[in-house]
Amino acid sequence: MNDATTCVVYPGSFDPFTIGHLDILRRARALFPRLVVLVAADGKAQLLSAQRRVELIRMATADKDGVDVRGFDGLLVDAVAGLKAAAVVRGIRCAGDYEHEWGMAGVNALLDQDIEFVYLLARPELAAVSSTLVRDVLRHGGRLDRLVPAPLAAELRRDFPAE
């Protein structure tokens, strides 16, 4: 049974944070009293620095209680143990995501047999939204307002003015 201090972590590259990520965060937060977004310092990020990704997610979640946003470096299992988190939350949009998660969960379980994962399926209307495609739209000057949380559209456009 969860107590009032139980937290879960929601790790990712978030390059950038999308409305799909925000929806998973919202739904996970409805299940658990505290959620820590862990922004991977290295990993796949190609567009934004870790510091900027943290800043943008803080803006996108400023109205949410029980949500904390931090950068993290190193192994996920160590971050989870350090925070005494009950589980890792991940969103799954499609079969490709499932395969990726399957590999990560397997390796993480070999690193720490106590680690637990909670997977939330993306809502169908958001399942096509990926950070990769948002970066492409951003690069080509397209509208971002239906792809990223409201305050981030203007921020990203300021960072990367359309040519």
Q: Would you please indicate which residues are annotated as catalytic (active-site) residues?
A: 21, 44, 93, 131
Q: What is the rounded distance in angstroms from the CA atom of residue 71 to the CA atom of residue 157? A: 23
Least distance CB 51 / ligand PNS (angstroms) = 16
Least distance CB 136 / ligand PNS (angstroms) = 16
Q: Which is nearer to ligand PNS, 26 or 141 (CB)?
A: 26
Least distance CB 89 / ligand PNS (angstroms) = 11
Q: Which is nearer to ligand PNS, 11 or 20 (CB)?
A: 11
Q: Which is nearer to ligand PNS, 65 or 130 (CB)?
A: 130
* Closest C-alpha among 112, 35, 105, 42 to residue 77: 112
* Closest C-alpha among 19, 28, 41, 44 to residue 145: 19
Q: What is the rounded distance in angstroms from the CA atom of residue 76 to the CA atom of residue 61? A: 22
Q: What is the rounded distance in angstroms from the CA atom of residue 54 to the CA atom of residue 7? A: 19
Least distance CB 4 / ligand PNS (angstroms) = 26
Query: For residue 126, what are the contacts with CB-CB under 8 A and spacing of at least 6?
Result: 19, 20, 23, 93
List residues near ligand PNS by CB under 6 A: 11-13, 40, 43-44, 75-76, 104, 107-108
Q: Which is nearer to ligand PNS, 43 or 71 (CB)?
A: 43
The 10 Å CB-count burial string (b at 16+, else e) for 92-106 is bbeeebeeeeeeebe
